[in-house]
Structure 1
């Protein structure tokens, strides 16, 4: 029998090392940002070269294995035992969508399709002349934010976490991903500490980046619309308001603030999509979405496995793969926390199919509208994008829309809420990872919410260079995290079989390490794991 709570020393060690890495990053940036940027860029290039091929193969394999498990008899597995889900289906889906989309929904959906429309991606550079730049641009965006990206954030990894926590009683920490390999030793093994620290640092960096970018984006928008100077004082005020929103949300918990904010975000996003389709270039958007989806599915394997033009891959595909992999362990914890009572099939369909389709339509709506306006008047979107970067793309597109006086502020509000839903959920997840509890203390959630905001404030003080260095640092942290996630390709199916046997879905139990099969003390609230077995072949 093992304790369901980590030792105090372990929690303090993980918190100290995680916070220490973030503090060291800030100190180095303050001391010599140019030198630190050089080190990060050098490390970034090495990581892309060494880990890039593995990331491509892992992303593809993870999706395929998740789909196979989800659509076979293993899809009937009830996550956490035969209990009712903790929340409504809409609330569950809303939290998933907003937590995982966030940065993509606000920063890249407007700009990335335009980038690929203006400069054809390498995989389509020698494509037949019948493929339009519109379809190529959207299809490449769909690849980066589609099936593989979403599957990496909460399918096989979440399954392993569910088994180790709800079925075996171990504390809710990233190290649970190593449980099928180390067994109960993972609670005290040094590899568990390393797994926790690198996962926390990676997700903190991945969350601080969008928080800082939001301040620069809104500052740019206020300067363009209202004439306010986009200086550090304005960006700090914006950042303070954002941190206040997601800190309050995180402090009230998943069933209150986090779910309410996510549901409100989904409703507002659906309303804006409907307005764009009805009042804007709706026909163009729908046609472009269907053509691009066809191209995306047709050329899925070439886009997934292409290895030519390493410089482009490092700037785009591998950058995103590193970002998503870095988020992987903490998202697995969060998805496992909110998915108890769901079936594995529900999880796979929601995360690996529904969410990507909705995300791609969102990209086609916002990015497609921008392409439509660009086709009508050359330079109306591309020029602001070239001059002002990501913040300028969203503003330029919304200013071209009907009822721009409403659409511009509505999208700015949506931007704030999108990023806030990531800030609150990741503050909650980090608090879980350190405490080991699936309901961490309120003060721990508040501490990490404020800490991420403070780091963003310091990096903003150094200008866009600090935030940009952090973005590259995200990919560097993905290197050790990818080694943590690699085993789920075989431990995920193994765990699925054990859970299916426990729940009477399969008649035979495979032989595994005895330690994995021993019942352990379960953390409150207890979940019954002994269920009547039924033999389908009887």
Structure 2
């Protein structure tokens, strides 16, 4: 599709964002302690001054999206295409592999146990028995990986991006989020526009490099646990190299081939592992826990999402997650825009804000709930390894309690690799889209970012685990400017929906004028 602007590579954005990432890694090599100190101070500042804003931003994004989806404006078709390019299973598979890939295995196994061992402060004074503490523990995990988290990635922002790109013909870049405010000039030589693109790339790059390095450490532990392979830097580097090779092949094949194939493969793996765990594990306990925790979350929905009392706990949990997901949001909204042509606003919002969270929550209930069940009957069997060895030890401890545990553990390691590969290929694709302004960026640009993420992650691994932790906290810092970029869609997306509803004959101009007068 031709756009109004010439689709030239934005070398300024390329150089500034790439250069910034290189400088971060170089500074970490020179003095990791100073970098950690700077990042920690910036992280604490971000949590203190932006935490409440992020909570309200995510809640507003979800609520406005729901209202829009179930109004008549939900019938508006996006992307100037009559029929969707991707079937429902393929489409939802690719959506699921965006956020779920970040927490798919290790957080799903570990976070419910964390909240079970130390009850979240909102419910800490309730004096619950261990049996009663199961539901709040699972429910807190549902909040962090549920409705608001998913809605922030690709609902209102996606509507604005798809309108600017597919309906108005402007480049598909994060700066397009500001099109309803600034108009066409945001795509010209605009400092605001360039800043929007650059901070979005840096935020998503930090959010991608962290999981790559983190995965190297996690898989290294798993291979040592299962096969006694030395858990060394060399092992971790080989793992990251294999992951980058998979992602590079996938992204070179394009969205319609490689990325789609990996996403479908991963969802099939997840479904298979879920079915096996349900059959050989505590079946009714898992089903009852999912239903109970989901009901508990809905019952305490506003309390849990807007909790503000314990700042230290919020910074370690809710606000950390919100910052991480907000940093991903512009780029994943670009990716979801690309795969959602021909979908209605209702289909988009229901898929991203309802179906994906429910699937994600069920996965957390099955994986984390299996661990909770064994911890309940045999205290210390899961929490002990978690305390001693961290998140990778939790997955292995849970599998160790089950029949066929060895083979299940291998399955979880494979799923972990494919999960993060799908994240890396989709993020590299969207960064290339941002640099070149088209949803068909050149192959070399797509592959370049995969390799860059891999190389920088390997360098960080050579420094040590502290560098990965510093990068994880840095993700939250980079979310500050991105979160400001994501505020305008709260009012611009409904306006765009109304305008497109008139264009598509869903609402007559007379009705629209009446609504505007009443408003």
TM-score in same-fold range (> 0.5): yes
Give the match for residue 161 of structure 2.
161
- Following TM superposition, by how much is the alpha carbon of 1:200 offset from its aligned partner in structure 2, in angstroms? 0.5
2:11 maps to 1:12: yes
Contact residue 5 and residue 437 of structure 1 kept, 8 A: no
Q: 1:50 and 1:270 mapped to 2: Cα distance?
A: 40
Q: 2:419 and 2:13 mapped to 1: Cα distance?
A: 29
Give the match for residue 349 of structure 2.
348
- Written as runs of structure 1 = structure 2, the 5 A alignment for 1:99-110 is 99-110=98-109
Give the match for residue 446 of structure 2.
445
Q: Deviations over 1:216-271 (max 9, x none)?
A: 01111111222222111000011110100011001101110111111011111101
Taking only aligned residues, the RMSD between alpha carbons, in angstroms, comes to 1.5
Q: 2:512 and 2:12 mapped to 1: Cα distance?
A: 36
**Closer, same or farther in 2 for the Cα pair 1:5/1:282, shift >3 Å?**
farther
Give the match for residue 300 of structure 1.
301
Q: Secondary structure at the match of 1:153?
A: helix
- Following TM superposition, by how much is the alpha carbon of 1:510 offset from its aligned partner in structure 2, in angstroms? 10
- Following TM superposition, by how much is the alpha carbon of 1:100 offset from its aligned partner in structure 2, in angstroms? 2.2
Q: 1:2 and 1:152 mapped to 2: Cα distance?
A: 27
Contact residue 146 and residue 356 of structure 1 kept, 8 A: yes
- Following TM superposition, by how much is the alpha carbon of 1:498 offset from its aligned partner in structure 2, in angstroms? 1.1
Give the match for residue 214 of structure 1.
215
Give the match for residue 146 of structure 1.
146
Q: Secondary structure at the match of 1:86?
A: coil
Q: Deviations over 1:42-99 (max 9, x none)?
A: 0000011111110010010000000000011010010112421111111001000012
Which ranges in structure 2 are unaligned for 5 or more consecutive residues? Answer: 514-519
**Closer, same or farther in 2 for the Cα pair 1:509/1:116, shift >3 Å?**
farther
Give the match for residue 192 of structure 1.
193
Contact residue 108 and residue 390 of structure 1 kept, 8 A: yes
**Closer, same or farther in 2 for the Cα pair 1:298/1:12, shift >3 Å?**
same
2:366 maps to 1:365: yes
Q: Deviations over 1:133-164 (max 9, x none)?
A: 10010000000001000000000000000000
Q: 2:14 and 2:39 mapped to 1: Cα distance?
A: 24
Contact residue 114 and residue 137 of structure 1 kept, 8 A: yes
Give the match for residue 94 of structure 1.
93
Contact residue 502 and residue 512 of structure 2 kept, 8 A: no
Q: Secondary structure at the match of 2:85?
A: coil
- TM-score w.r.t. structure 1 length? 0.93
Q: Secondary structure at the match of 2:397?
A: helix
Contact residue 498 and residue 510 of structure 1 kept, 8 A: no
Give the match for residue 376 of structure 2.
375
Deviates more, 1:138-147 or 1:77-86: 77-86
Contact residue 500 and residue 506 of structure 1 kept, 8 A: yes
Give the match for residue 247 of structure 1.
248
**Closer, same or farther in 2 for the Cα pair 1:72/1:418, shift >3 Å?**
same
Contact residue 498 and residue 509 of structure 1 kept, 8 A: no
Give the match for residue 256 of structure 1.
257
Q: 2:127 and 2:214 mapped to 1: Cα distance?
A: 38
Q: 1:404 and 1:2 mapped to 2: Cα distance?
A: 53
Give the match for residue 516 of structure 2.
none
- Following TM superposition, by how much is the alpha carbon of 1:127 offset from its aligned partner in structure 2, in angstroms? 3.3
Give the match for residue 180 of structure 1.
180
Contact residue 147 and residue 353 of structure 1 kept, 8 A: yes
Give the match for residue 494 of structure 2.
493
Q: 1:244 and 1:402 mapped to 2: Cα distance?
A: 33
Give the match for residue 515 of structure 1.
none
- Following TM superposition, by how much is the alpha carbon of 1:375 offset from its aligned partner in structure 2, in angstroms? 1.3
- Following TM superposition, by how much is the alpha carbon of 1:405 offset from its aligned partner in structure 2, in angstroms? 2.5
Q: 1:20 and 1:82 mapped to 2: Cα distance?
A: 38
Choose between structure 1 and 2: higher helix proportion: 2
- Following TM superposition, by how much is the alpha carbon of 1:396 offset from its aligned partner in structure 2, in angstroms? 1.2
Q: 1:511 and 1:297 mapped to 2: Cα distance?
A: 34
- Provide the aligned length of Structure 1 versus Structure 2: 510
Q: 1:245 and 1:282 mapped to 2: Cα distance?
A: 35
Give the match for residue 517 of structure 2.
none
Give the match for residue 24 of structure 2.
25
